[in-house]
Amino acid sequence: MSCITFQQYVYVVSMMIICVFLRYSEANCSFQAIFNFGDSNSDTGSMPMSSPNGMTYFKKPAGRSCDGRLIIDFLAQALGLPSPNPYSQSSGGGGADYTHGANFASQGATVKPPDSSNKDWVSKYYLPIQLNQMKTFASSISKGGGSSNLPSADILGKSLYVIYIGQNDVTGVLGSAGVGGVKQNLPQVANEIVNTVKELYGLGGRTFMVLNTGPMGCYPAFLVQYPHGDSDVDQAGCMTSYNNAVSEFNQMLKGALFGARQQLPDANLVYVDTYSALLNIFQNPSSHGLKYSTTTCCGAGGGAYNFNPQVMCGKSGTVNGSSVTASACGDPYNYISWDGVHTTEAANKIVANAIVSGYYTEPAFDLHKFCDVQPIG
């Protein structure tokens, strides 16, 4: 077999790079941008993160509470778009690129405004503040759209709007009022999420994905910190009572979206059942190529959950007189839970693939009908 010359090698590599570029640049998609609203489950960098966050894909901290990419990153990849840059970067003078959307999500964000009971651990950028930031952004592109780092003024009607928030509100209610507090305290949370959709519709948005809250009763942090007996644990090791409480909130959200759908008949209001997608993974990890269900990858304490609330992922502290460090496992691709509260890149990829294919969406929403969907990898 003859050897190729260096010039021929360079030519072949160059053509491969061009083909990859064209594959993404020519991807046909109805959505030219993504605007995301949420908490740490979809925050792509509103604040700095420390190691070992980011270890899997980015090889360094990348502003995400995860070993790698989030669901929103994979959705963007599927649409042939870059992950939306955090809106918080717009005030830093760094010239972040917003031509394909923006991410308003914030670590610790809630739907309802912070109050005296949670102001020390939740973000000041709760959902109505994120909406106001979006309104400011919309105003700025109407004045200067098409500039080097802003989209054109007509982008708002050609975008996918993703809302993934509510977990911190549910956490607060379960912690203060227990499972019985859901009916009294969470209907307004569901209604506020839907009101946000209506406001975004008023700005020109027409396609919305609203992700519900995941099965918190399966998360190691809640299994460790929330009291429960053996009778309250299902075969997957999840707390039935807390998952039922989350499901109750999700039904409120689903019902509120149904009502909004009747009021906005020309909009795509898609309810995404993240809860069921993740619960299926927790219940059947091996069928998804994973090994560990309710065990934390980046935690401390060992045992079934490997989670200690006194020493969070990447941190060190003293527990019972001993120095303890919450370090990461060497194989996060085998885990569902990254740090006891957030999911791993591996789990996020599974959920994103299901969403892209139209599973766990109501009404059924297959992105392939709107875009030349790119493989998630």
Catalytic residues: 40, 339, 342
Q: Is 312 exposed, middle or buried (0-12, 13-18, 19+ CB in 10 A)?
A: middle
β-partners of residue 325 are 316
What distance in Å separates the CA atoms of residue 16 and residue 19, rounded to the nearest whole number?
Answer: 5
Q: Please name the amino acid found at residue 4.
A: I
The three-class DSSP label of residue 162 is: strand
Residue-by-residue DSSP string for 33-55: EEEEEESTTT-SSSS---TTTTT
Phi/psi of residue 155, nearest 5 degrees: -70, -25
Residue-by-residue DSSP string for 187-247: HHHHHHHHHHHHHHHHHT--EEEEE----GGGSHHHHHHS---GGGB-TTS-BHHHHHHHH
Task: Answer for the pair 78, 370: CB distance below 8 angstroms, yes or no.
Answer: no
What Rg do the C-alpha atoms of the chain give, in angstroms?
21
E strands present in the chain = 33-38, 101-103, 159-164, 207-211, 268-272, 292-296, 316-319, 322-325, 335-337, 361-362
Q: Is 237 exposed, middle or buried (0-12, 13-18, 19+ CB in 10 A)?
A: middle
Q: Is 209 exposed, middle or buried (0-12, 13-18, 19+ CB in 10 A)?
A: buried
Taking each helix axis from N to C end, the angle separating 240-263 and 167-177, rounded to the nearest 10 degrees, works out to 130
